[in-house]
Amino acid sequence: MRYIGSDTVIYTDKSEKSFEMLDFPDIETLTGREVKLGAIRDLDFLALQIYGSEDQWYKFFDANSPAIVENNYDIGNLKTLTIPA
């Protein structure tokens, strides 16, 4: 739902094939507090507990995207998580 207003762009891969895709909005710089992760690694559940809605999970991903990418998208490897304000 958060990409509904995004523009459609043409992406051309190395083999010269072109694809239409939605343009990603800029990731806003989020500030927040950093917490140590325990056994809970489910971003939907954390979003429900903190924001009252599971639909807000993307805030965690946006705020922690460098660390998530460095860990090959395995949230289980993260020791801490930034909770956006």
User: What's the pLDDT tens digit per position in 25-46?
Assistant: 655 555 567 767 765 567 777 7
Comparison of pLDDT for 39 and 82, the residue scoring more: 82
**Residue 59 falls inside a structural domain:** yes
Residue 18 has pLDDT above 90, yes or no: yes
Query: Across the chain, what does the average pLDDT equal?
Result: 77
**Residue 17 falls inside a structural domain:** no
**Residue 63 falls inside a structural domain:** yes
CA–CA distance, 57 with 48 (Å, rounded to integer): 8
Number of separate domains in the chain: 1
Comparison of pLDDT for 28 and 60, the residue scoring more: 60
Find how far residue 70's CA is from the centre of its chain. Answer: 13
**Residue 48 falls inside a structural domain:** yes
Predicted model pTM: 0.51
**Residue 14 falls inside a structural domain:** no
Burial class (CB in 10 A: 0-12, 13-18, 19+), 3: exposed
Whole domain around residue 68: which residue ranges?
Answer: 28-84
